[in-house]
Chains A and B, each alone.
Chain A
């Protein structure tokens, strides 16, 4: 895949940070506003998709490693299953942190929630925000892995390969110089 023009690369550089922040906001505030683990993970994975499209084949293979995302995804699933075992005194997946059920862990998402419409306190929710983080990590790892797999095993046809070699070198030189001075 050839890298795209300078405008797309510049906009990607600007927007990636905002997309990541918005994605993690949707993940962490899953127990207060609409959203949660799966939705926020998809938003963060779209940032990875934007990078893959804008920078092209070679630069992405140098910087983003498939093994790192595989480790992120696996750790997300392990954390999700492991959090279920903590409440095993009552039941599997018991909300042991929720409404001050353990008084010493009140600082870890353990406050009581007001009943009825209220502005929403992030300290509430029990084990639900932790599960949101685990699932969000897993989903962003999974979707990024699918993209990177399809990129890594992409073999262009013979006609396309010649065009890529002639233009990719020139474009990579241009974008490379731009980024070295711009402080990527």
Chain B
């Protein structure tokens, strides 16, 4: 009886520990604020695009200043595209987040790939510092358009004013660099709000820079299609060396244990002796 009670208590404790580790949140996350109602969004002058060729041709940066601030209109009610500045109306207590969801890339006309970069910059206008910079990686060849998806979550200060800019910088100022995107969704939320209902959700997208970096850059750096094999043999090849050594030493241990000896005392003979 005691064995059963102890064992079932162990099961219950272990199950709760597992659920806590796996982040089954019984209390939910605070809700995401609606951008258009809770925040004052001002977007500068309007211009319409007919195709992404217009995006590229206008966003070329050949001067020395640090950004190419080009304004353009929204594409749908959900996405805000362009140079926007926003400040919060209500005050949030605690931390606030901004989630950027974009799909775009970097385009270069020619030149050294390493000396130019493009991306999305979140600039804090109150403290005059860059809050976050999302880098679009260089393409494999000049003149090539590649599309990648990015999603980042940035901690922001709700009392500051932020602006989001697309940046394209060429170090030698000889060639054209551009950042282009298809949509740029911004969502803002803060703590201290009323929590929602309890939810058990498996598989929400976690903020993991390392795995996102590996999936984005695997084919470019290693040339392999299988990301898991590239991680096992290229990004973490040293761990595989340890694993091969463990396998070899285990087989050596089995070989030591099964060595043949001359004097084998069989159990029947031992009983006869005793």
Contact = CB atoms under 8 A, between A and B. Distances in A.
Chain B associates with chain A: yes
Interface of A: 30-37, 73, 77, 80-81, 84, 92-93, 95, 98-99, 110-116, 118, 120, 124-128, 131-132, 135, 138-139, 142, 145-146, 149-150, 152-153, 155, 158
A115 B258 CA distance: 51
Given A80-B244, A114-B219, A132 B233 contact: yes
A33 B228 CA distance: 10
Contacts of A113: 219-220, 223-225
Interface string B209-239: 0000000000111111110111011100110
B255 interface: yes
Contact of A150 (B222, B248, B258): B258
Interface secondary structure of B, over-half rule: helix
Ranked 7 nearest A-B pairs via Cβ? A93-B237, A31-B224, A113-B223, A124-B223, A142-B251, A149-B258, A125-B224
Nearest to A70: B255
Interface residues of B, number: 32
Contact of B222 (A125, A132, A146): A125
A132 B229 contact: yes
B198 interface: no
Nearest to A99: B223
A31 B248 contact: no
Given A73-B251, A112-B140, A131-B237, A118 B244 contact: no
A149 B219 CA distance: 42
Given A114-B219, A115-B219, 11 more contacts: A77-B245, A93-B234, A93-B238, A95-B234, A111-B223, A125-B222, A126-B224, A142-B251, A149-B254, A149-B258, A158-B268
17 contacts: A31-B230, A32-B224, A32-B225, A77-B245, A77-B248, A93-B241, A113-B219, A115-B140, A118-B225, A124-B224, A125-B224, A128-B229, A132-B229, A138-B247, A142-B250, A146-B254, A150-B258
